[in-house]
Amino acid sequence: MPTLAASLSAHLAERLCQPEAQPDPGGELVLYWMRGSLRADENPALDAAAELAEALGVPLLVYQGLDERHPHSCDRHHAFILEGARDVARELEARGVRHVLHVTRPGHRQPALRKLASRSAVVVTERVPVPPLVEWTARLRAAIEAPVVEVDAACIVPLSLVERLPARAFGFRKATEQLRRERLTAPWPASDARPRRFEGELPFEPVELERTDLYDLIGACEIDHSVGPVPGERGGSVAGSARWEAFRDQGLRSYDRTRNEALLDGVSRLSAYLHHGMVSPLRVAREAAAADSRGATKWLDELLVWREIAWAWCHHRDGCVESYDALPEWARATLEEHRGDLRAPRTSEQLARGRTGDALWDAAQAALLMRGELHNNVRMTWGKQLLPWSATPEIALRRLIDLNHRYALDGRDPASYGGLLWCLGLFDRPFVPDVPIFGSLRPRDTEIHARRLDPATYRARVARPGAARPLRVAVIGGGVAGLTAARTLADAGHDALVFDKGRGPGGRISTRRAEPFAFDHGAQYFTARDARFRRWVEAWMEAGVVQRWTGRIVAIDKPLADGAAQVEKSDTERLVGAPGMNAIARHLAEDLDVRSGVRVAGLERSGDVWSLTDEHGAAVGEFDALVCSLPAEQAAELLAPVHAGLAGQAAGVPMKPTIAVLLGFEARLELDFDGAFVNTGPLSWIARNSSKPGRPRHEAWILHAGPELSMERWDADREETVDLLIAELARVTGVALPPIAHRDLHRWRYALSDKALDPKAGGGCLADDAAGLALCGDWCAGGRVEGAFLSGQAAAARLLRQVARLA
Ligand code: FAD
């Protein structure tokens, strides 16, 4: 049987990375797994798949998948890719080729690609030598009979013709010059292959792109909703072509003079479209070469040398591009010498939110956060600065990759790795003299850069939310959910005001002090299982706001004999705010506008404006949008007059009360544990609060009554309830209690929602997009602190998606 390369035209065969592969004769189709070149025109992978299908006499199917498990998946990347999917589906339809899209989300997580691939004669995909695609490709290859072949559809000089791992740009430029010249000006041959259209059964339900609201689809995916779509930045080949043509006709000629000026529109801003292959690099290179100007020559050097050296480097390293070892030896050696130098680390949260205190760097990060892009010249300074702000160079590298890939629309590309690792020496040479931390790496200082780029002017230019004006949003409720929604909106450039009826923010994560004791009388601890929450929690741990509670936690199923408990509760990681649970709320509220002591009692919507009044009927303010983050029953009551539908949904979520008793003892209780789930009698939980990190050592205990007793004694005499629960403490622990120095009681009317809305069904919040209204809270996302956080993000995301929808 002939090899696949033998069945292809020469201009396609040279782009095949596995030329010796042979098709599976039993396969019923050729499958093009489209992932890196979302276009029908000048697409070598598509053309190769079409030629192979025709040669084998089987139909062609184009499969595109969008997987939640792709690292850094967020609303922003999903929106751009889905918009691209819509364009390419139309283009393929016009050519008679069937395109199907599978978007993983709850209810749609079947192994669609593997099932289709296992019926194929050959699977064609683009060579994209970065994580996780290299690994995903290898896994698919191992799982099926048919070959999975990769086609270079991204570079002018085909990757397989670059013989060595490139080290420096000048060497690469020279070594590939001839190959480039031969291909740069030749028109891409139009494909005349007309394979049959695949009409067979699909093992999944494809997304109907023309009839689906893409933003609703995104909301249903379990991805990072804190990074919203960039309003006005549409993905797809239509927008990509328009961007290219505008630059080709107006900007290319002067590129050599304007490219380093971050305050001018002097660059192509094409990288996101190139990253997804929404414009053909073959086409733009050819048209730029035809323009024949100094600007075009400089731009082509960026496109053909700096972009392609990065691709070739990733290709030769077979996607192993995130490890510290990938840096050149001299760079690692100099960084090693300076490992012990004094640094001023910033937390990953300060970095992600652009709150480091360095005006230029923060403005650059704001550009990434709000606009999803960063001017290349500023990006170099931005990237270098992570070295002195991270405890080790390895951490700096991880942060570089994370920040770039999460926020930048062009992130996750081989060219990104080239640029990011350049900050740590890749493709560069040693510089003299040695400087602290950087050693012989080329330094780039934000202060020096700020002398030629005024941070305030730059910030005013790039830190824009993309809407005609920032949204003015009222967030009612300053618990974890409300604060999280507010800071997500604020980080995206909107004005969020938080109103809370309490004395300070926090809601049910609260701490009460009664010298010398301290009590967390609401949430006791929390867990962080979801990666989207975990990321922030780790940053709070870096900042010391959150610590592990390593106390021994047990279950008491029957009264103990002498304080010795036998039943361990699992070794779940239990986390607490430090020095009290409310430290988390204080931290979340740090740079927000929080108005405490305001009970919102009335809502009115007139036209596009929400008006809020307080309990005295006084006006609180007028807003474009509203986030209501109250416990379900309170939300239902407040919303009933203005939105019966959402109020009704909230009213259907029951919440249970908890009576908490706070006890300060004069001596330590002789118990061999620090917290217990109590499954006998009216108590549900007891905990030695003083065993949590950062608390005063004075013996402080919290007792929680179960919901039945809490309900029964809701209006009963407080002192009698305290006495009753103290007696229960003695009974279930089996020890004599020391003298009590402090006693108090707190009633939580809406403590826990055992039957929270299914977060998978509701996307973590309830909302009416047209009304600019979102409801969130622990009850929308599985209960608990983690659920409240994710729900707050989901509510903010609903508003951010609506802004993008209307842009
Ligand atoms: P809340 O924290 O209730 O925030 C709502 C806010 O709205 C409050 O600050 C309130 O003052 C304000 N508000 C209400 N009405 C108005 C109004 N009209 N105008 C203005 N403001 C208003 N979770 C865990 O993960 N682990 C635990 O161990 C745990 N234990 C718990 C024990 C107890 C006793 C309680 C009460 C809760 C516990 N939780 C625990 C749950 C956790 O505290 C909550 O899930 C989380 O704090 C809820 O946050 P939220 O923002 O959704 O709501």
pLDDT tens digits along 460-487:
999 988 777 899 999 999 999 999 999 9
pLDDT cut 70: percent of the chain above it: 100
Neighbours of 164 (CB within 10 A): 10
Query: For the chain, how many residues are written?
Result: 807
Q: Which helix (H) or strand (E) holds 498?
A: strand 495-500
Distance CA 398, CA 394 (A): 6
Query: Whose C-alpha lies nearest to ligand 1, atom 36?
Result: 751
pLDDT at 95: 95
> Strands 675-678 and 656-665: what pairing?
unpaired
What Cα–Cα distance (Å) separates residue 22 from each residue in 19, 194, 471, 653? 9, 21, 57, 58
Taking the centre of ligand 1 as the mean of its atom positions, its distance from the CA of residue 512, in whole angstroms, is: 15
pLDDT cut 90: percent of the chain above it: 95
Q: Which of 70-74, 325-329, 562-566 has the lowest mean pLDDT?
A: 562-566
Q: For residue 391, report the phi and psi dihedrals to the nearest 5 degrees.
A: -65, -35
Residue from 429, 593, 446, 419 nearest 505 by CA: 593
Taking the centre of ligand 1 as the mean of its atom positions, its distance from the CA of residue 295, in whole angstroms, is: 58
Distance CA 789, CA 218 (A): 19
Sign, CA torsion 369/372/377/381: positive
Taking the centre of ligand 1 as the mean of its atom positions, its distance from the CA of residue 751, in whole angstroms, is: 7
Is it the case that residue 790 has pLDDT exceeding 80?
yes
Sign, CA torsion 308/312/318/322: negative
Neighbours of 653 (CB within 10 A): 21
Taking the centre of ligand 1 as the mean of its atom positions, its distance from the CA of residue 784, in whole angstroms, is: 8
pLDDT band at 120 (very low <50, low <70, confident <90, very high): very high
CB 91, CB 40: distance < 8 Å: yes
What Cα–Cα distance (Å) separates residue 134 from each residue in 67, 126, 203, 396, 635? 15, 11, 24, 24, 48
Sign, CA torsion 13/17/21/27: negative
Query: Whose C-alpha lies nearest to ligand 1, atom 26?
Result: 526
Is it the case that residue 71 has pLDDT exceeding 90?
yes
Q: For residue 323, report the phi and psi dihedrals to the nearest 5 degrees.
A: -85, 150
Residue 724, token pair as written in the block? 């009753």
Distance CA 232, CA 208 (A): 23
Q: Roughly what angle, to the nearest 10 degrees, separates helices 414-422 and 307-316?
A: 100
Is it the case that residue 708 has pLDDT exceeding 80?
yes
Residue 123, token pair as written in the block? 């699977």
Taking the centre of ligand 1 as the mean of its atom positions, its distance from the CA of residue 638, in whole angstroms, is: 17
Cα 367 versus chain centre, distance: 16
Is it the case that residue 756 has pLDDT exceeding 90?
no
Choice from 778, 779, 786, 789 to test ligand 1 binding pocket (greatest atom count within 8 A of CB): 778
- Burial (Cβ within 10 Å: 0-12, 13-18, ≥19) of residue 2: exposed
Cα 115 versus chain centre, distance: 29
Write the pLDDT tens digit of every residue in 154-205.
999 999 999 988 899 999 999 999 999 999 999 999 999 999 999 999 999 9
Choice from 475, 498, 501, 508 to test ligand 1 binding pocket (greatest atom count within 8 A of CB): 508
Ligand 1 atom nearest to CA at 599: 19
Give one word for 501, left, alpha or beta, with left for phi > 0 and alpha for psi -120 to 50. alpha
Taking the centre of ligand 1 as the mean of its atom positions, its distance from the CA of residue 520, in whole angstroms, is: 13
Distance CA 764, CA 791 (A): 5
Taking the centre of ligand 1 as the mean of its atom positions, its distance from the CA of residue 301, in whole angstroms, is: 57
CA angle, corner 600, sides to 596 and 603, nearest 5?
Answer: 145
Distance CA 331, CA 436 (A): 14
Overall average pLDDT of the 252-257 stretch = 96
- Burial (Cβ within 10 Å: 0-12, 13-18, ≥19) of residue 117: buried
Overall average pLDDT of the 589-594 stretch = 97
Ligand 1 atom nearest to CA at 524: 28
Taking the centre of ligand 1 as the mean of its atom positions, its distance from the CA of residue 459, in whole angstroms, is: 36
Taking the centre of ligand 1 as the mean of its atom positions, its distance from the CA of residue 234, in whole angstroms, is: 38
Taking the centre of ligand 1 as the mean of its atom positions, its distance from the CA of residue 281, in whole angstroms, is: 52
Number of H helices, E strands in the chain: 31, 25
Question: Which residues is 30 bridged to in the sheet?
Answer: 60, 122
Q: Residue 246 contacts by C-beta under 8 Å, 6 or more apart in sequence?
A: none
Distance CA 468, CA 247 (A): 24
What Cα–Cα distance (Å) separates residue 181 from each residue in 46, 184, 411? 24, 5, 29
Overall average pLDDT of the 524-541 stretch = 97
Distance CA 201, CA 312 (A): 38
Ligand 1 atom nearest to CA at 660: 34
Cα 490 versus chain centre, distance: 16
Write the pLDDT tens digit of every residue in 735-754.
999 999 999 999 999 999 87
Q: Residue 23 contacts by C-beta under 8 Å, 6 or more apart in sequence?
A: 1, 4, 52, 56, 121, 122, 146, 147
CB 528, CB 649: distance < 8 Å: no
Residue from 711, 713, 726, 729 nearest 675 by CA: 729
Ligand 1 atom nearest to CA at 778: 52
Query: Whose C-alpha lies nearest to ligand 1, atom 32?
Result: 523
Ligand 1 atom nearest to CA at 598: 20
Write the pLDDT tens digit of every residue in 760-784.
666 899 999 999 999 999 999 988 9
What ranges in 453-495 are assigned the alpha helix state H? 455-462, 480-491
Q: What is the dihedral of CA 765, 767, 772, 775, to 10 degrees?
A: -50
Overall average pLDDT of the 518-537 stretch = 97
Residue 653, token pair as written in the block? 């979520």
CA atoms within 13 A on the CB side of 323: 8
DSSP string, 624-651: SEEEE-S-HHHHHHHHTTT-HHHHHHHH
CB 289, CB 267: distance < 8 Å: no
Ligand 1 atom nearest to CA at 753: 45
Overall average pLDDT of the 220-234 stretch = 95
Q: What is the 3-state secondary structure (H, E, C) of 9-22?
A: CHHHHCCECCCCCC
Q: Which of 244-253, 462-471, 580-589, 677-686 has the lowest mean pLDDT?
A: 462-471
Q: Which helix (H) or strand (E) holds 66?
A: strand 60-66
Choice from 497, 549, 630, 710 to test ligand 1 binding pocket (greatest atom count within 8 A of CB): 630
CB 804, CB 494: distance < 8 Å: no
CA-atom Rg of the chain in angstroms: 30
Q: For residue 558, report the phi and psi dihedrals to the nearest 5 degrees.
A: -145, 155
Query: Whose C-alpha lies nearest to ligand 1, atom 8?
Result: 507
Ligand 1 atom nearest to CA at 748: 36
Ligand 1 atom nearest to CA at 508: 2
Q: Residue 548 contacts by C-beta under 8 Å, 6 or more apart in sequence?
A: 573, 574, 575, 576, 693
Taking the centre of ligand 1 as the mean of its atom positions, its distance from the CA of residue 742, in whole angstroms, is: 25
Taking the centre of ligand 1 as the mean of its atom positions, its distance from the CA of residue 509, in whole angstroms, is: 6
In which residue are the tokens 């100007």 written?
A: 293
Taking the centre of ligand 1 as the mean of its atom positions, its distance from the CA of residue 517, in whole angstroms, is: 22
Residue from 98, 95, 93, 116 nearest 59 by CA: 98
Choice from 582, 747, 784 to test ligand 1 binding pocket (greatest atom count within 8 A of CB): 784
The DSSP secondary-structure symbol of 736 reads P
pLDDT at 759: 60
Q: What is the dihedral of CA 452, 455, 459, 461, to 10 degrees?
A: -20
Q: What is the dihedral of CA 147, 148, 152, 153, to 10 degrees?
A: 120
Residue 538, token pair as written in the block? 């780790």
Instruction: Write out residues with Cβ below 6 Å of ligand 1.
Output: 476-482, 499-502, 507-509, 522-526, 599-600, 629-631, 634, 638, 658, 660, 704, 748, 751-752, 777-778, 783-785, 788
Taking the centre of ligand 1 as the mean of its atom positions, its distance from the CA of residue 733, in whole angstroms, is: 29
Give one word for 19, left, alpha or beta, with left for phi > 0 and alpha for psi -120 to 50. alpha
Query: Whose C-alpha lies nearest to ligand 1, atom 38?
Result: 523
Taking the centre of ligand 1 as the mean of its atom positions, its distance from the CA of residue 646, in whole angstroms, is: 20
Distance CA 89, CA 743 (A): 68
Is it the case that residue 613 has pLDDT exceeding 90?
yes
Longest dimension (CA), the chain: 92
Taking the centre of ligand 1 as the mean of its atom positions, its distance from the CA of residue 507, in whole angstroms, is: 5
Q: Which of 282-296, 315-329, 657-671, 750-764 has the lowest mean pLDDT?
A: 750-764
CB 501, CB 491: distance < 8 Å: no
Q: Mean pLDDT across the chain, nearest whole number? A: 96
Ligand 1 atom nearest to CA at 783: 45
Query: Whose C-alpha lies nearest to ligand 1, atom 24?
Result: 784
Distance CA 777, CA 680 (A): 30
CA atoms within 13 A on the CB side of 485: 39
